[in-house]
Amino acid sequence: MFALLNLGILGGLVAASFVINLLGLTSPLFMLQIYDRVLASGSVPTLVGLGSLALGLYGFQAALDILRSRILLRIGERFDRDLSDRVHRAVMRLPLIALMPSDGLQPLRDLDNVRGFLSGAGPTALFDLPWIPLYLGICFIFHFWLGMTALVGAIVLVSLTLLTNILSRKAIKEVTSQNMARNGLMEAARRNAEVVHAMGLSRRIGARWQRANSDYLVANRRAGDVTGGLGAMSKALRVILQSAILGTGAWLVINQDATPGVMIASSIMMGRALAPVDLAIANWRAFLMARQSWARLQDMMKKMPEQQPVMPLPKPVRELRAEALTIVPPGERKPTVGGVGFVMERGTVLGIIGPSGSGKSSLARVLVGVWAPAAGAVRLDGASLDHWDNEVLGRHIGYLPQGVELFDGTIAENIARFEDDPDPEAIVAAAKATGAHELILSFEKGYETRIGEGGSALSAGQRQRIGLARALYGDPFLVVMDEPNANLDAEGEAAVVRTIVSVRERGGIAIVVAHRPSAISVVDKVLMMEGGRQRAFGPKDEVLSKVLQVAPAADPAIRAVRSRKQPHDESGAQPLTRGIEEQVSNARNDRAHP
């Protein structure tokens, strides 16, 4: 951790610690002079002079202590500033490239642990420990046996510090692990508060959290027993050692081998020498937690290296190309999608269809760069997505995922993707293109309405419409919509169709993942997915005809089409297969009767 400091700051801390420890000799030397000179001579001027000098040195020592603590506080802040941006990006990005633990905010807590340790009293002990030999050496100067007593005491306390490290390392790691599990359960319960309350899960979810909390408390008690017990032992040993050196000094005074001043001064010297060891043991738990946190942060930074600057590329205007894509979800080893390849030119619309679990949403995530393909590439105008700067690429892509997530802020801020200085006309244009303008104006504060965390103030359909407007903000070249009409009524579905048409008319590329026929009706090409493979790709009529001719009889929806049983979903919308059949029939009639 301290390796992140430049040599100037580190050298300044070492120099300040050296002076502070030299000034730590003020108290024992003052007592030595009081007992051996002032009391023996009875000189008041000597007492006043020594007292004034000691007072000045104490003040200087306090000033340096304050300065050192402020430097350490600012070191912690600098550490946070240097890494906070990477930690924030990692919290957002790591779930997309690896299987994350239940507590997704652990990197932020790790950053807090390291910063808290660097800003606290723990580093002062580390900077003071190297000066213990100075105090021991002075004890040896006073008398050999005083030095030996102090040396034995130092060895005992240092051994106790090493024992603290050995015994508490595993316990502290267990505390962190249990805390991550506990926090993950709490966060999951908070995110699903509506489901928990509506379905009466409070007691059961609460019982799960209580078990996790109990495990955490047990682990915390074990760690506390180790560090607390060893800390109490170190304090007791420190007092015993100071008493032992006083007893040794008294024995030397009786034998006239030392003066009373030496006896008192050596006792104070012993306490000053062992203070850093005592402080280190007291802060050892924080040190171990910071060290483990720093190890996790380093591992995270290896997984998430800093993005190197890339040369700006021209705005895509020509085509989207998917080349032999193989997709492995984050944290998995087995591909779920393979052998997908197609080309879409500007001004065209692609519909991706297929049964649930066929890989449609996975493909959509790869097309917009959310997931990186395990093999193959996605290219815009010939440039692979990883050739683009992520911020720049985001301006050319609009994405509406299945689960629409909005951020705490105003509707305008969400549509404008939280740009610093958004164009109001572009915000309104995106809302009008998706049919959301009138909806937004119906709110009391219109576009300035705050929607709460996750858009909690809106219905699912309203979130869908605003999320669609966000996808169209700035007229991106590629717009990918995953189930865009899942939560919409007839008016909303009509708005989705108009949105798709508008993207095509301005020369963009729209990709729609859909089960309902309304969105498929306006596409130019269809990609059929089945079992994670590309089953068919081509013009809409051709692919839909092929799908109906060879659809597996085991598929209930296809059986319904063939038997002319037309199931409806609970919203009254037609299922995809009925829409497919009608579209194929219409296309055949058009060809038969031009």
Is residue 471 a contact partner of residue 399, using CB atoms and an 8 Å limit? yes
- Apex CA 324: angle with CA 333 and CA 353, to 5°? 85
Please identify which residue in the block is written with the tokens 């609460």.
206
Is residue 328 a contact partner of residue 335, using CB atoms and an 8 Å limit? yes
What distance in Å separates the CA atoms of residue 134 and residue 272, rounded to the nearest whole number? 11
Residue 225 half-sphere exposure toward CB, CA atoms < 13 A: 8
294 CB neighbour count, 10 Å cutoff: 19
Helix-, strand-, coil-residue percentages of the chain, each rounded to 5: 65, 10, 25
Cβ-based burial of 469 (10 A; exposed 0-12, middle 13-18, buried ≥19): buried
Please state whether 454 falls in left (phi above 0), alpha (psi between -120 and 50) or beta.
left
Letter string b/e over residues 255-265, b meaning 16 or more CB atoms within 10 A of that residue's CB: eeebbbbbbbb
What distance in Å separates the CA atoms of residue 530 and residue 73, rounded to the nearest whole number? 58
* One-character DSSP codes across 293-335: HHHHHHHHHHHSPPPPP----PPP-SEEEEEEEEE--TT--S-
Distance from chain centroid for Cα 343: 36
**What's the confidence (pLDDT) of residue 380?**
93
Which positions ≥6 away from 432 have C-beta within 8 Å? none
**What's the confidence (pLDDT) of residue 319?**
93
pTM for this model (two decimals): 0.69
* One-character DSSP codes across 84-99: HHHHHHHHHHGGGTSP
Structural domains of the chain, ranges and CATH numbers in brackets = 2-301 (1.20.1560.10), 319-549 (3.40.50.300)
Q: What is the pLDDT along the chain (594 residues), one digit of tens a residue?
A: 555 556 677 788 888 888 988 888 888 888 888 888 888 888 888 889 999 999 999 999 999 999 888 888 888 888 888 888 888 877 777 767 766 655 667 888 888 888 888 888 888 888 888 888 888 888 888 889 988 988 888 888 888 878 877 888 888 888 888 888 888 788 777 767 767 777 777 788 888 888 888 988 888 888 888 878 877 887 788 888 888 888 988 998 888 888 888 888 888 888 888 888 778 877 887 888 888 888 888 888 887 777 777 788 889 999 999 999 999 988 788 899 998 999 999 999 999 988 888 889 899 999 998 888 999 999 999 999 988 888 888 899 999 988 788 888 899 999 999 888 888 999 999 998 888 898 899 888 899 988 877 666 788 888 888 989 999 999 999 999 988 877 677 777 888 888 888 899 999 999 999 766 556 778 899 999 888 899 889 998 888 887 766 554 434 433 333 343 333 443 333 444 444 444 444 444 444 444
**What's the confidence (pLDDT) of residue 343?**
93
Residue type for position 312: P
Is residue 336 a contact partner of residue 373, using CB atoms and an 8 Å limit? no
Helices 460-472 + 490-505 axis angle, to 10: 10
Q: 537-540 contacts: CB < 8 A, separation 24 or more?
A: 537/342, 540/351, 540/583, 540/587
Please identify which residue in the block is written with the tokens 């219409």.
586
DSSP 36: I
Length of the chain as a residue count = 594
Cα–Cα distance list, 582 to 257, 559, 587 (Å): 112, 15, 8
